[in-house]
Structure formats: C-alpha cells, structure tokens
Amino acid sequence: MAELDLDTLHREMTSWRHDLHAHPEFGFEEKRTAAFVADKLRAFGLEVAEGVGGTGVVGTLTRGSGNRAIALRADMDALRIAEQGAQPYSSRTPGTMHACGHDGHTAMLLGAAKLLAEEGGFDGTVRFIFQPAEEWGRGALAMLADGLLERFPFEEIFGLHNMPGLAIGHFETRAGPVMSAEDNFEIVLKGLGGHAARPHAGRETLVAACALVVNLQTIVSRRLSPADIGVVSVTELITDGTRNALPGLARILGDCRSFRPEVSATIEKEMRRIAEGTAQAYNVAAQVTYTREFIPLINDATLSDEALAAARTVLADDAVGVAAEPMTASEDFARFLTEVPGCFVFLGNGNSAPLHNPAYDFNDEALLHGARYHAAVVRRRLAVG
C-alpha cells in the first residue's frame, strides 16, 4: 500500500478539527458531529455503524487474516461553556464550546483511521469508537448497553486525552490507577426563614450551611487514612434568602474524588453523619443525596508498557514518560476497562489555557502525534506475522 503524505494528513486533520470546533454539540446531541465522522470513515473505506448508544459511531477496519480485534476510542461531546476567543473557527453555538479538546481527539482518531486504511501494516481488526456524552459520564455506558461488545467485539481498548502544560510531542501514562472516581452530592437544609432583624424568631439555614461547609473539610483531614487519596469539594451554596430576609432553605452541592470504593463509601458515610449532626446543632433538618458518576480509571500493566513502547516508535524517546502519580480528574473511558483491559494516555497540548476554561483551544500541532500514536498501537498489538 502507498505511504500517506503526513503533511497533507496534518492539514486535513486541522481542517476537520476546526470544523468540529465551530459546531460543538453537548452529550447525546452530537448528531452533526456523528454524521461528519461517519461520512469520513466511509470515505476511507471503513464499515460504519451509527446510532450506537444514541449518537455513537463505530468504524471497523480489517486487514490480513488475523482473528484478533482491538479498539481505539475518542470522545465527541462539548461543554456548556461560552467560548472566549477570536479564532475564525470559534464556536457558532452560543453557550457551548469544545473546552476539553474532544474536537482534537475526534480529528486524531479520524486521522489514524485514514492512515491505517491507506497504509495498512497490521493483521486483524480495528474498531474506531467515537463516543458521545463523556463529560457527564453516560456515553460509554450507553454504548455498552447498546451491545457494543457483542456487535463489535474487541479484546482490548486504547484511548488518549490532551494535556495542557505537557509539551507538544510529549506523552505520559502509567500502570494502575490513572484517574479518580467522581461522586456528586447535594445537601438540603430546611428550617424556618424570617426577618433579618429577628433571627431568634426562626430557624434560618445560612449559618448552619456555612458551618457544614467547614465541617465537611474534616472528612479528608480526619476521617480518611493519610495513605488514601480523597477530595471533598463544595462547589455551590444556594439559599432562598434576600437582602433583609433570612433563608429557610439552603442547598450545598459538590464533588468528591477517590480511587477505591471503600474510600468513596467512607466519604458518603461521614458526610451523612456530619450533615445530620450539624443540622441538629442548628435546629434544622438535613437531607443528603449522594450519587456516583464516574468510576476510577485503572490501566492494565501490560498494555501500559505496550502503549509506552508504541509511543517511542513515533515520538522522541526522551518525550515518552511514566506519569509520576494519578490525577483526581475523572474519565468515562474507565467504563470500558471494566469489560476489557486497556490503557489511557496523555498527549501534550503545550501551554494552552486549562481544560474546561472558556479560553481553551486544542493545539493543532498535536494532531499528527496523536494519529501516529494510535496507528503505532495498532501495528504493535496486531503485528503482521
């Protein structure tokens, strides 16, 4: 098969990425994005299935006579964030933008599909999985519930995410825990509001809520072992008070992170105990709602070594490293790893704004590195001969 011109491929991926960036779509609304992906995959000669798990797309490419299959995954959804930028390809959808680089992830996986379709160099089957709704942790489950593994079987799966602050062309991963679980909570305090001049006549909830926010910080500092990683963050405090009226209702919302189910269970138990105790001390009632949104992402040790080895074939050897520690962000890719072994990696995005920031933009210089890494993994795991 003819060798693909990489400069041409890079220009194509950049064009695809800009188109996707200009037309962001929220989770399970990625109809235009999915159609864009499906059209490109068909043009490359792949078999394509649409509507998997709602708006997911799966492309299949087979070469040779090998009976093994592996999967590569990219996420497609955007965030409810208003973009702050003046690029010619800035979001044309008010209040929605690709603030996490999923436009770049999609473009890189499309580039890998084209590269492998034209050059081959592997023996077996590759599933190209374009997943919806990663940001709110529902897309992978939806695809799995729609028979992903039964309809498009594969033995292992690989994914990547761009990383601001890591230099372009640099690569990191690690065996074992990589990204944390994410739990969400809402604590509702109910009392009796009243006039701001007469606090003694009611059971206002704002002082109780402020005390509870402080008390929740003792879960990690005093209830978890120092050997365990845990985060409890209060992100919102909402009341029904106004300038001269004390609130009778307060809502405290937030986010917890951990790497072990036992730690998550301890956080929930202690949160309920502290909420009830604080509420009783301030003569109000407390109701706690605690949900588990993301599970920990645990890389397979063997496939982590394989990913590092594949990266060294397309990137400078000193640019490929083992991540020193796991991070407390979360990733829906973890759901696939409960079904098959796999590896999730990080690719440098240079000195861009942080992820989920309204000024963030994926760095197009990373596109070719990602596409070539995807292809290298396939050629290593489905080696000819």
List binding-site positions for Mn(2+). 100, 102, 135, 161, 356
pTM, whole model, 2 decimals? 0.94
What is the rounded (10 degree) CA torsion for 208, 214, 216, 222?
-130
* CA 35 – CA 45 distance, rounded (Å): 15
Cα 298 vs. chain centroid, distance in angstroms? 14
H, E, C per residue of 116-128: HHHHCCCCEEEEE
| Digit-coded pLDDT (tens) for 156-193 | 999 999 999 999 999 999 999 999 999 999 999 999 99
- Domains of the chain plus CATH, in order, are 6-177+296-381 (3.40.630.10), 181-294 (3.30.70.360)
Cβ contacts of 241 within 8 Å, gap of 6 or more: 193, 204, 206, 247
Closest CA to 174 of 350, 300, 40: 300
Closest CA to 124 of 151, 147, 150, 156: 156
Helices (H), 258-299: 261-281
Contacts 24+ apart (CB under 8 A), 211-216: 211/278, 211/281, 211/282, 212/187, 212/252, 212/274, 212/275, 212/278, 212/279, 212/286, 213/237, 213/252, 215/274, 215/278, 216/254, 216/271, 216/274
Closest CA to 269 of 282, 258, 285, 283: 258
List binding-site positions. 100, 102, 135, 161, 356
For residue 122, the model assigns a pLDDT of: 98
For residue 127, the model assigns a pLDDT of: 99
Number of helical H runs and strand E runs in the chain:
10, 16
pLDDT in tens, the chain (385 residues): 678 999 999 999 999 999 999 999 999 999 999 999 999 999 999 999 999 999 999 999 999 999 999 999 999 999 999 999 889 999 999 999 999 999 999 999 999 999 999 999 999 999 999 999 999 999 999 999 999 999 999 999 999 999 999 999 999 999 999 999 999 999 999 999 999 999 999 999 999 999 999 999 999 999 999 999 999 999 999 999 999 999 999 999 999 999 999 999 999 999 999 999 999 999 999 999 999 999 999 999 999 999 999 999 999 999 999 998 999 999 999 999 999 999 999 999 999 999 999 999 999 999 999 999 999 999 999 999 8
Cα 36 vs. chain centroid, distance in angstroms? 21
282 to 161, 249, 274: CA distances (angstroms): 46, 13, 12
For residue 1, the model assigns a pLDDT of: 67
Helices (H), the chain: 6-22, 31-43, 102-119, 139-145, 148-151, 206-216, 218, 261-281, 301-312, 367-381
Could you tell me the maximum CA-CA distance found in the chain, to the nearest angstrom? Answer: 83
Contact (Cβ atoms closer than 8 angstroms) between residue 219 and residue 270:
yes
Strands 342-348, 171-173: parallel, antiparallel or unpaired by DSSP?
antiparallel
Q: Map residue 269 onto helix, strand or coil.
A: helix
Q: Is the dihedral of CA 331, 163, 317, 314 positive or negative?
A: positive
Angle at 82 between CA 81 and CA 84, to 5 degrees: 120
